[in-house]
Structure 1
Amino acid sequence: MPQRRRVTSRSHEPRRRFAEEVRALRERKGVSLRELAAELGWDWSMLGKLERGQTLGSPEMAQALDEYYGTPGLLLALWELAVADPARFKEQYRRYMLLEAEAVSLWHFAVSILPGLLQSDGYASEVLATGGIKGEELAQQVEARVGRRALLLGEDAPTFRSILSEAVLRTPLRDAKAWREQLEHLAEVAERPHVTLQVLPLGAGLHGLVGTAVMFLRMPEGRTVAYTETAYHGELVEENREVERLQRAYDSMRDLALSPAESLKFIGQMLEEAPCDPST
């Protein structure tokens, strides 16, 4: 039997593969980082970080590079794979991330902080920093978290519902500008046809999910799994009886929440009350 021929020497790890391809295309073109930066109007040091795998940049950057190199869709596809790569997240989340990527619908309850799918860059940075993450690791974790927002984009995005405890919206960031940007992002996301946001008023009182954030994932074959999370522990729940118990608690709580229209008005009220950035 003939030996299997290696198709490519490129890395099979999505983030590294993206970086390798970006560098290889530039070298094949015969331009330096500074020449490329001048051509595209970007900072050459950012392009260097892109080639070293220190950042993934944005989908707009990947598209612009595809246009420049004449590789329509190649770098954008690699960028999307790198953003969605579960290996970028801690081991305990990897199975959940794989399931989340396949889910046809998601519904969620936020008890104290916004879910990653709704976090702005500034919000993700401050939340992760409070957990002791810093430096380059912080930058990478922020990039990984906000990269998940791509799940809610596109025509084939899953339907998504999130019920936010009022406490989530009453707990601002230290950075006034970043907090306003987060509230504006929520208002924008709430207008998307496949996204439903609701606010659970503090006056609703005690309910079955007090102290527990939960995300339900409905899979293509019809089953539902749940991921519960407290401040110190996360657990993937797949046993039907436990998932049904959580769903009953969720449904009872949803009956106490503001309607989507009322919730959007509430977010607008939070924007009006949010302090202005003192630097502006």
Structure 2
Amino acid sequence: MSVSISPPNLVPHDDNLPGRCTVAFRTIGCKLNQCETAQMQQALLAEGYRLVDWDEPATIRVINTCTVTARSDRTCRHQIRLAKRLDPGCLLAVTGCLAQVDPGTVAAIPGVDLVLGNPDKLRLADFLRRHLESKAVAHSQPKPTVCVSPYAGSLSFEKEVLVSFPGYTRAFLKIQTGCDSSCTYCIVPRARGPARSMPLTQVLAQVRSLAASGYREVVLTGIDLGSWGRDTGEGSLADLLRVLVAESAVDRYRLSSVEPLEMDAALLDVIEAAGERVAQHFH
């Protein structure tokens, strides 16, 4: 889809613009969405924006959406409308899976200013700046900005380093995304694209960074976590978990979003040998 944004070189640059903005986030859906919300928050903090709780007045409101069921779609649409009633003057950005698979419906909801798909939402800070600057020049924004990039045939895992997870005592680390199964009942491959894995060296660097920030437990998450490593040829989830436990960067790991068929003997053996280092609970 095309992006209706005024060219950045046609508007005056204002380094203080982010510093005057407060941002509130609402995350709907899975732990992967929670992890990506933390990535967006970290990027905005680095630009000088100030985060506030959802029930506080905010210059910008961001809703990171889900679309796995019709009920989740209804919840997202309700929350979008509620956000504008809560703060009529806010800039309202909608990101995530519903924005990816049905951007037209999202953009048509009154009050929506910015619609970003999953490949685009981690560049939220760039879109916000351009949107705010273009609005300051035009004094109005009659149509929402929509940027929903299609998934290319060959994608690499994003390289942003997550160092904090606001509001949580344990950190969620996205080490995998996408799915290649293409089940007829499931919309996830459309929303998340093909399966991609975070490279092993990057996983280790992320865990060390989170440990340095004080997190003692890391939840490894993904869309199809059990498929980690298949696309990169770096081994299996069992191999990765074995390396992480030996690394001892954090006290405990937890697995999220593992399909029952992916819980093979090798993975169970690593978990058993790890004892309390790996939580005996699976989602």
Superposition TM-score, scaled by structure 2 size: 0.30
Q: Which structure would you say has the larger RCO, counting Cα contacts within 8 Å and 6 or more residues apart?
A: 1
Higher strand share: 2
TM-score, length-normalised on structure 1? 0.30
**Greater helix proportion:** 1
